[in-house]
Structure 1
Amino acid sequence: MLRSMYAGVSGLNAHQQMMDVTGNNISNVNTIGFKSSRVTFKEMLSQTIQGASAPQANRAGTNPQQVGLGVGVGSIDSDMSSGNLQSTGKTSDVAIQGDGFFVLRDGNNQVYSRAGNLNFDENGRLYSSSTGMLVQGWMADANGDYGDFNAQNIDDITLKQEINAQETDKVKYGKNLDAGAMNSLEILEQNLELSTASGYGEELSFSLQETEEFNVWDFTLNASNSSTEFSSNGETFDDTLKGKIKLDNNGNITSFETNEGLATEVDLLTNPLVTTIVDPSGTNPDETLSLSSTDVNNIFTNSTGVNDANVDLAFEQTAKRNIAVDVFDSQGGKHTVVLPLEKTANNEWQISDSDEDFSVDGITGTASLGGDHTITFDANGNIDGGETVELTFTPAGPDMEQTVELDFSAVTQFDGSMTANFTNVNGYEDGALESFSFTETGDVVGSYSNGLTQTLAKLGLANFSNPAGLMRQEGVFQTTSNSGDPELGAAAQGGFGSLAPATLEMSNANLSQEFTNMITAQRGFQASSKLITTSDEMLQELVNLKR
């Protein structure tokens, strides 16, 4: 009976420990990254009353007779399975999806945690908000590259609080220049009602037609009277004169020629056009008016001064793309460079040093390309020449000449769209850290006030052959002789889980299972206590036999 009483005592102890573990699991149901535990029981040593006997010729063998001495705790196992993820929206939170632990530094010791509620202290060091321990990882160089991911170079993660200014030395351009872009030439007003000294006159009309040639228009000059004749350079034409007019990108006439009925063109810029007007009555001699071309705003003038005959044309340079880009000097000063690309011929565009739109900070004449720069394209719309050119200017702050390479190698020329623009500028002003975030691969990305984002570090993760063999201590895990040494590496590679930014891993304690365990522990404890009281009653009956 004493054995049954002590068996009941062992049952009380075992179920009390089960209740302790269950209570700990329930109390940590909202603890970030918590891993629940479970208790397994084992039978204690049994007292052998009679050993087993082997079978004999005339008698069967007998089994051993043993009385158990109670129950003990066989193990308290950690459940290292992942908990559910909770989105927090906080950029400093991060959770591990899969295997691995965050690596923390506690003085000179490394410890491990699944809790990803992280933050930065005033020195820019990343630490665990739950424990205050410093998070370990690998720092990136200026190009965002890392060395080897190993234990020798893992260190505290410290964010760079400021980024120094960097001078712009290259601007890349891309997208499309419209192959079909044409400048515009329109007739605003024409006054070609000519009057002679004898009082009779003629009314002429001038019209334009756009051609496929760049900056070239067909023109037609008509007389209302069929007897009127046009002549120039000894050549005589009927009452209709046709030809071509060519302009440069400033709207100046470069060629004003007629080839109507001629083997060669007649240049009306150097050979005045004579209009012979016949008196319908036949009483007066024929009279002539000479018209000469001067400029685009007044291409015809009455050379006789009898009347002010003219055609007013409006030229608009629409085959042009002004691209503004901000570049930075060595002190971080920002300067706006406006680069005018104007079409000068089919498949040819030019940037002119003397263009009034070519400016730095709105001031013309302060930058140079070393002369006019021409960009050419082949028949397929791909760049064929003039891929790069160097822009030089002297910013006021540093007061030293700065050279910027302009790269047009990615610019195309297809019909229909005018989208050419800069695609990349490699300089920036100085900036202060405003925020940071994590990526799925563990990169720590800083966002700065100058609009720059930079990869600064990578979180280190640790993995174990037997993670359940880790020992808990103040909310973190430590290695033991049965957990194995940690394997360090980066997230999402080499068997390590990926990261979920702005997310936390919740406790993996299952409340429904824990409440069931609590009932089981309670009933086991109750039964064990009943065993003690029953044994006590039996002892009491034994004492009463003396009476």
Structure 2
Amino acid sequence: MLTSLYSAISGLQAHTNKLDVIGNNIANVNTTGFKSSRVNFTTVLNQTIKGATSPQEGRGGTNPQQVGLGVKIGSINQNMTQGSPQSTGVSTDLSLQGDGFFVLDNGGSKVYTRSGATAFDEEGYLVNSANGLYIQGWMARSDLDGDGKRDVNINGDLEPISLTSSMPASATENINYTGNLDASSEINKTHTTSISVYDSLGTKHTVNLELEKTADNTWDYTIASSDNGTDIVDAGTSTGTLVFDSDGNLESINGTNLDGNGNGSITDAELEAALPKLIINPTGGAAANQEITLNFSEFTQYGDVSMSAKADTVDGYAAGELEGIEIDSAGVITGSYNNGRLDTIGQIAVATFNNPAGLSQEADTMYAESNNSGQPVIGIAGVGSAGVISPGTLEMSNVDLSSELTEMITTQRGFQANSKVITTADQILEQLVNLKR
């Protein structure tokens, strides 16, 4: 009789714990990035009254006679399925469409979250909106691939991501010219094109290129600046001659042969040596003697194509201040500056685990590595199972409210039934006590 009391008590305790889990799930039905949990029951050891017997001659075997001793919590499992993305329109709100986690720095230790509600603080650091912990990733450093933007080394150590509020000026080093010089032009025909260049302080200067046809397939060029006080230091670099072959390809620059076509058969080193170097001295306190390489190798001379020679691309730019940021699906943060330039600021790191359900839950919808989660694999969004980042959205809680309410009803009935066992056992014990009266 006492066994039934203790079994019922274990049932009350187990169902109370399950109700606690259900209540927590329902409480977090609207919590960003929350993952619901589920309780599984298991039996307590049984009391064996009589063991099983094997079949004997003329008589069959019997099953064991056992009385259960109650119930206990077998496991509380986290449901790590994807929550639905909710659009917010806030550029720093992020959701992961995959198995990854954002990485946060918590006083030197790393914690992880699915909640991508982030913002930039007063000092320009990207932080978790709930607790101010720094979002981890990598800052962009130098331009490694020559595209004019800084690059991120994702193999480096994790670090907080902060905004680069200003962009320093960059002096012009190269002007690339392209287009066609009309082969049918008369002798002494001229064509002029202009381009803006920048000194080391970001001050803009205008460089003019004048092309004059001096003979068949031959054009002389003259470089000058229309800015007062901006001088061509080495006059020998400001003039020269371009010679084309009969097919309209650039053959030589200032007497240096380009193998007759100028389309790449010359080596990069030979082409670099052939290109003229313009040396100017800008005003305004900038560093003296600024060297600019003039690339004419893409010029052509066709008779059936109109005159289109011009400066196509130029590097260098003025200083700029940050106007806005954009985060792409790989977590790359790009800043837009008021000098018209775009530059990479950094990239957000994403962690994956072999067993994400084994992570230890922390406050503020965060998780910590546990003995059964596996070690974090740090990478970037869009690679492997990490999933892509969806900016302007937040991952909603994956709590299924209808299922939780159903579970709450069955848990309540289970609790009531166990309570009934206790009251029934108590009544029987009372009758036993009264037998001696």
User: TM-score range with shorter-chain normalisation?
Assistant: 0.7 to 0.9
Is 1:34–1:507's contact at 8 Å kept on the other side of the alignment? yes
Offset of residue 522 of structure 1:
2.7
2:279 corresponds in structure 1 to 392
Match of 1:410 in 2: 298
Task: Go from structure 1 to structure 2 and tell me whether the alpha carbon gap of 1:171 and 1:513 turns closer, same or farther (over 3 Å shift).
Answer: farther
Q: Paired residue for 1:529? A: 419
**Change in 2 beyond 3 A, CA 1:421/1:66:** farther
- Cα distance in 2 for partners of 1:39, 1:395 equals 75
Q: Which of 375, 392, 397 does residue 502 from structure 1 map onto?
A: 392
Q: Which amino acid aligns with 1:127?
A: V
- Tell me the equivalent position of 1:157: 161
Alignment of 1:82-101 (within 5 A): 82-101=82-101
**What amino acid does structure 1 have at the position aligned with 2:193?**
I
Cα distance in 1 for partners of 2:310, 2:436 equals 112
Q: Provide the C-alpha distance between the structure 1 equivalents of 2:17 and 2:329, rounded to a whole number of angstroms.
A: 40
**Among 422, 428, 443, the residue aligned to 2:311:** 422
Q: Which residue of 1 aligns with 2:74?
A: 74
**Equivalents in 2 of 1:523, 1:339: separation in Å?**
89
In structure 1, the residue matched to 2:139 is: 139
2:130 maps to 1:130? yes
1:43/1:122 CA distance change after superposition, 3 Å: same
8 Å CA contact 1:214, 1:344 repeated in 2: no
What is the one-letter code of the residue matched to 1:160? Answer: T
2:259 is matched with none
- Report the alpha carbon displacement of residue 345 of structure 1 after superposing the two structures with TM: 5.8
Label 1:365 to 1:439 Cα distance change in 2 as closer, same or farther (>3 A): closer
Contact 2:359 2:368 in 1 (8 A): yes
Gap change, CA 1:22 and 1:544, over 3 Å in 2? same
Q: After superposition, give the CA deviation of every residue in 1:382-431 in whole Å (9 maximum; x if it has no partner).
A: 43333733333321112623221121223445544555443432212222
Quick check: which has more Rg, 1 or 2? 1
Tell me the equivalent position of 1:335. 205
User: CA 1:111 to 1:335, structure 2 compared with 1: closer, same or farther past 3 Å?
Assistant: same
Larger strand proportion, structure 1 or 2?
Answer: 1
Q: Contact between 1:101 and 1:113, CA under 8 Å: does it hold in 2?
A: yes
Q: Deviations over 1:9-31 (max 9, x none)?
A: 33232222222212222222222
Q: 1:42–1:71: 8 Å Cα contact kept in structure 2?
A: yes
Superposed displacement of residue 365, structure 1: 8.8
* 1:357-380 deviation line (CA, Å, top 9, x unaligned): x5433x599446735333344454
Quote the Cα distance in structure 2 between the aligned partners of 1:82 and 1:461: 16
Correspondence 1:53 to 2:68: no
Structure 1: gaps (5+ residues): 181-212, 216-246, 250-318
Instruction: Mark the CA change 1:435 to 1:70 in structure 2 (over 3 Å): closer, same or farther.
Output: same
3-state SS of the aligned residue for 1:491?
A: coil
Gaps of 5+ in 2: 144-149, 254-273
- 1:479 matched to 2:369? The reply is yes
1:325 matches 2:195 = yes
Other structure's SS at 2:386 match: coil
Aligned residues: 406
Q: Which residue of 2 aligns with 1:295?
A: none
Alpha-carbon distance, 1:42 to partner: 0.9
Task: Determine if the alignment matches structure 1 residue 360 to structure 2 residue 360.
Answer: no
Mapped pair 1:351 → 2:221: yes
1:512, distance to aligned residue in structure 2 (A): 3.0
| Residues 69, 397 of structure 1: alpha-carbon distance in 2 compared, 3 angstrom cutoff | same
Contact persistence 1:214–1:345 (CA under 8 A): no
Amino acid paired to 2:341: L
Equivalent position of 2:188 in the other structure: 248
Q: How many Å apart are 1:536 and its aligned residue?
A: 4.1
SS of 1:25 mapped into structure 2: helix
Deviations 1:295-335 (A, max 9, x none): xxxxxxxxxxxxxxxxxxxxxxxx73x43322111111112
Correspondence for 1:9: 9
Secondary structure of the structure 1 residue equivalent to 2:10: helix
* SS of corresponding position for 1:117: strand
Query: CA–CA distance in 2 between the matches of 1:479 and 1:524?
Result: 35
One-letter code aligned to 1:390: K
- CA–CA distance in 2 between the matches of 1:493 and 1:514? 34
Query: Shift in Å at residue 349 of structure 1?
Result: 4.3
Give distance in 1, aligned partners of 2:414 and 2:211.
Answer: 88
Residues 84-233 of structure 1: matches in 2 within 5 Å?
84-143=84-143, 144-147=150-153, 149=155, 153-174=157-178, 176-177=179-180, 179=182, 213-215=184-186
Q: Distance in 1 between matches of 2:300 and 2:79?
A: 60
Q: TM-score, normalised by structure 1?
A: 0.67
The equivalent residue for 1:39 is 39
Partner of 1:514: 404
Deviations 1:233-253 (A, max 9, x none): xxxxxxxxxxxxxx733xxxx
Kindly indicate whether the alpha-carbon contact (under 8 Å) linking 2:219 and 2:242 is maintained by their aligned counterparts in 1.
Answer: yes
Which whole-Å deviations, capped at 9, do the CAs of 1:259-309 have from their partners, x for residues lacking one? xxxxxxxxxxxxxxxxxxxxxxxxxxxxxxxxxxxxxxxxxxxxxxxxxxx
Q: Secondary structure at the match of 2:326?
A: strand
Higher helix residue share: 2
Q: Is the contact made by 1:435 and 1:448 (CA closer than 8 Å) also made in structure 2?
A: yes
Cα RMSD of the aligned pairs, angstroms, is 2.9
Letter in 1 for 2:278: L
Instruction: Give the alignment's TM-score, normalised by structure 2.
Output: 0.82
In structure 2, distance between residues paired with 1:438 and 1:51: 68
Cα gap change, 1:146 to 1:352, in 2 (>3 Å): closer
Q: CA, structure 1 residues 517+379, in 2 after alignment: closer, same or farther (shift >3 Å)? A: farther
